[in-house]
Amino acid sequence: MTEFIRVFARELSGTTLQINAGLKYSPRVFISPSGACGSYLFLTGALTQVEKLHGEFLQAWVSDPTGMFNLTTSRLDEEIFKFLEHAEPPVFVSATGELQVLRGSKKEVSVKPLTIRTVDRLARDSWIIRTAEQTIRRLEIMDNLIREGGRDEVFQKAIDHYHSSASSIRSLVSMVEEALSKVDYVPGGEIKLPDPREILLDLIMANSGPKGVSISELLLLAAGKGIHEDQVILTIRQLVEEDECYQPAAGAVKLL
């Protein structure tokens, strides 16, 4: 079964790790900085430019709030080629594709589209939210492995290759926050997130151990819900002042 990973464009542009799929004619397998692993990608964004290359090739760029995906196809893929050839950017599109190294490049990853279609802004925003959730979930696993150890072959390969640290994880969380900040309006009205206070209370309750939950872990969990770091710190301070929770140790919080 073919599984399609979701990563933001900025993360894909920083993806340089490939592993052996084990079969001679298998597609390349890529591991991203957040630990996404696969040969195929599902993306949604704004098609901004299409360019004809030498020979029978087209190159297209699809943007998300963090950067650009590079799509390349040939006239042999008649349906995809025809769609891109007649597209009128800018327009929102969704695409699935095989990950590959860009022609003439040793590291830059591009996407060979397998399917592509026009979509609306709601579909684009839904993709951002779901991709943010999956990215944060992977970063939580990576953060736990770095802090507490454990065994996970794929994530360990990512940690070793990208020299992952609390700082690099925080950088990826900021990328997710940047993407989520663009999800503020769709036809029919605004996308309204739940109250940050209620979200944090639920997260503290669900993730606390005997010593509560670390604030660093809360920052990761809250980012997946679209809550910025500054809002998390402010809300925690308010909850402590209102005796809703307390700090059993430095850098941790627990409900009273």
pLDDT in tens, 161-175: 999 998 899 999 999
* Counted domains in the chain: 2
- Asked whether the beta carbons of 94 and 69 are under 8 A apart, the reply is no
Q: Which of 112, 50, 48 is nearest to 83 (CA)?
A: 50
Choose the final residue of a domain: 149, 175, 192.
192
The C-alpha R_g of the chain, in whole angstroms, comes to 20
Q: Is 188 left (phi over 0), alpha (psi -120 to 50) or beta?
A: left
Say if CB 76 and CB 56 are below 8 A apart.
yes
Is the pLDDT confidence value at 184 over 80?
no
Do both 43 and 149 map to the same domain?
yes
Q: Which of 100, 125, 126, 127 is nearest to 112 (CA)?
A: 100
Same domain? 13 vs 89: yes
pTM of the model: 0.76
207 and 187 fall within a common domain: no
45 and 139 in a common domain:
yes
- Say yes or no: 186 and 199 in one domain: no
190-208: b (≥16 Cβ within 10 Å) or e:
eeeeeebeebbbebbeeeb
CATH number of 66's domain: 2.40.50.140
For residues 75 and 79, give the distance between their C-alpha atoms in angstroms, rounded to a whole number. 9
Residues 184 and 202 grouped into a single domain: no
- Tell me: do 129 and 19 sit in the same domain: yes
Q: What is the mean pLDDT of residues 89-100?
A: 93
Distances (CA, A) of 14 to 4, 8, 17, 113: 18, 10, 9, 20
Predicted pLDDT of residue 186: 45
Q: Residue for token digits 């299409």?
A: 50
Distances (CA, A) of 114 to 4, 117, 156, 237: 11, 11, 30, 49
Domain that holds residue 208: 195-256
Q: How confident is the model at residue 213 (pLDDT cuts 50, 70, 90)?
A: confident
CA distances from 38 to 21, 86, 98, 99, 249 (A): 10, 30, 9, 8, 40
* Confidence band, pLDDT 50/70/90 cuts, at residue 216: confident
Query: Do 19 and 70 reside in the same domain of the chain?
Result: yes
